[in-house]
Amino acid sequence: MIEVGGLTVRFGGVTSLDDMSLTFEQGTCGLIGPNGAGKTTFFNVLSGFVRPAAGSVRAFGVDLLSMAHFRRARWGLRRTFQTEQAIEELSVFDNVAMVHEHSRQGGSRRGDVLDAIAFAGLDADPEASVRTLGAGQRRLVEVARAVVGRPRLVLLDEPAAGLPDEETSHLAEVIRRIPEHTGALAILVDHDMSLVSACCTTTAVLDFGKLIASGPTATVLRDDAVIRAYLGVA
Amino acid sequence: MSGTVRATLERASPARIARRPSRSQLIKASITTVLLLFAFFALPELLSLYYIDTMTQVAVYSMVTLALGLLVGRVGLVSLGQVAVLAIGAWSAARLLFATTQPYPLILLEAGLITMVAGVVIGLPALRLRGLYLALITLMLAGGITVVLATVNFPNGGHGFLGYNGSLLHIPPIRRPSIAASDPAYYRFSVIIAILMFVLVLAHIKTKPGRAWAAIRQSEPAALAAGINVWFYKLWAFALASFITGVAGGVLAGAVHYLYSIGFPTQDSITLLAVTLMGGVFSLWGAVVAGFLYQFLPALLNNWGVSADWLIILFGLGVLQVLTTAPAGLADQVPRDLARLGRFLRGKARRPSPSRGAS
């Protein structure tokens, strides 16, 4: 469970997050909004890359903001990036092992890493260099990194960006199963509404840094304010 | 479980991940072993004393370029102060060799550790910077250290902390290990120390720190998100590079017998970076190639009566060539081009000539 209270982030004169308060209980939760709404900024606050001007973030009873950024991964925070960040120099196995050895661990390294690769459904040799993989496979390497060991909070930042429909539907299945497989709370940021609908039971919507809706995904996607934010007013 | 997932599980069975060496890895290991045996046993028998001394210098500077390649290629930190770090290692080893009767390998270890501490002290503030600014700061620090060394001088058997007595005559030589007093024996000793340093770096690259450095070099946010303490691992790289360069300085002290601050000019750090880039910063062989470029090539030109100053132009062109066509350096480019040439020649040999085909 994550509780965000009065979170405000400013970059100079721009308010990227404006007094944002929300609670995600469990499962896979969606966070949507038009470009520039503050979704990635919210993830960057959780990751410790951006320091908020005000507000609090409590995840599973822990004050996340008081933790050094690299310690958050050890605590159980994982994330993928909008621009995929699989480490090219390393093999698939080493990419996942790298996260495992610096973060909250479940069992043995080899067992955990192979389990994560298999869970992501990565159709590649674990010894293969990431450099030789296609875009979809590299996205799955990131997902495997996000679920290896015992994560508590998994942040997925537009994981399906640029993927063809077939790979997106496989990714949706993987994302949907993350909470059940790892016990973690997953937060998905994406523009693909079919992906969000397929994966998320709860969804929150940001617009210009403000939370404009939150609740069951189906209800939120029919909300007038949300439709206005996405499509504008006629 | 979907078919894809099952297939992946089967492929990822522990037996597969046991990482049995592939055929190409075995060939590489065999070539490395043959080359090392040749360098260790045959080379001292084949070469004149002039070239044996040159090869000792190649071993020393291969360690220096190994350390620099580690910083530049593995972590993405550009240091222009390596000659000063080498001088600290040489100074520490020389002081300890004059002051104590400890075995040489122990002195090397101590010189490496002292240099490591100095490198960490230099690295601490410098690590807040990156790219050109880090290069500039390390160059300025190297300049500062060179000035200090010119003032305090290298130990020459004197007393006190500095061990310098101002004498220019009857200076005792810096000792060598008793089992490696002759030039060929000291060359072999240098090769063993260099191999140990290469193994040390290899052990780092293939394990946890190597994975962390690879992540840091590609993307610091990704490294942080993976739980890697970026600051600590950068400092670790600085410490390891300083340790290796310090050990190299210790080997250099015994190789040359007499050390002078004029032998460590600040601008040599720039040439070192150039040859390290030319050799290749992503492979350990690159450091060996860089050692040859830095020490063997000038010795060869000198022997032929050609001024080694021409090399500055060659190195300039070499860096340009590396940056434009071969980012992984000669260690990567030459074997690749040779393999391509081999394929081309094989293809030409197999293809029947048009005249024969017509008949």
In angstroms, the separation between the Cα of residue A229 and the nearest Cα of chain B is 30
How many Cα atoms within 13 Å fall on the side-chain side of residue B230?
Answer: 25
Q: Is B320 helix (H, G, I), strand (E, B) or coil?
A: helix
Check B17 against A94: CB less than 8 A apart: no
In this complex, do A118 and B228 lie within 8 Å of one another by their Cβ atoms?
no
Give contacts of A87 with chain B, Cβ < 8 Å: 211, 214-215, 218-219, 222
Question: Given an 8 Å threshold on Cβ–Cβ distance, is B12 in contact with A114?
Answer: yes
> Chain B residues with CB inside 8 Å of A97's CB?
211
**Segment B202-248, tens digit of pLDDT:** 999 999 999 999 999 999 899 999 999 999 999 999 999 999 999 99
Q: What pLDDT score was predicted for residue B355?
A: 55
Ordered strands of the A62-63 beta sheet: A14-24, A2-11, A54-59, A62-63
Q: Which of B2, B5, B75, B205 to mutate to test the interface with A (most CBs of A within 10 A)?
A: B5
Which tens digit of pLDDT belongs to each residue from A113-141? Answer: 999 999 999 888 899 999 999 888 999 99
pLDDT per position as a tens digit, A175-186: 999 999 999 999
Q: What mean pLDDT value characterizes chain B?
A: 86
**Record: contact B5-A121, CB cut-off 8 A:** yes
Secondary structure (DSSP) of A101-125: TTS---S-HHHHHHHHHHHHT--S-
Query: What pLDDT digit, counting tens, does each position of B81-103 carry?
Result: 899 999 999 999 999 998 889 99
Is the pLDDT reported for residue B272 higher than 50? yes
Domains of chain A as residue ranges with CATH: 2-231 (3.40.50.300)
Please, where are the H alpha helices in chain B?
3-11, 14-17, 23-37, 43-46, 49-69, 82-99, 104-126, 131-152, 183-205, 208-218, 220-225, 230-256, 268-279, 284-291, 297-303, 310-325, 330-350, 354-358
**Which class for B287: exposed (0-12), middle (13-18), buried (19 or more C-beta within 10 A)?**
buried
Q: B70 near B291, Cβ under 8 Å?
A: no
B-facing residues of A in 177-216 (CB < 8 A) are none
Averaged over successive runs of 10 residues, the pLDDT of chain A (234 residues) comes to 90 88 90 88 92 92 89 90 91 93 78 92 89 91 92 92 86 92 92 88 90 89 83 64
CB B175 within 8 A of CB B254: yes
3-state secondary structure of A12: coil
Percent of chain B with pLDDT over 70: 91
The b-or-e profile of B72-109 (16+ CB within 10 A means b, else e) is bbbbbbbbbbbbbbbbbbbbbbbbbbbeeeeebeebbb
Whether pTM > 0.80 for this model: the answer is: yes
Q: What residues of A are in contact with residue B16 (Cβ under 8 Å)?
A: 125-127
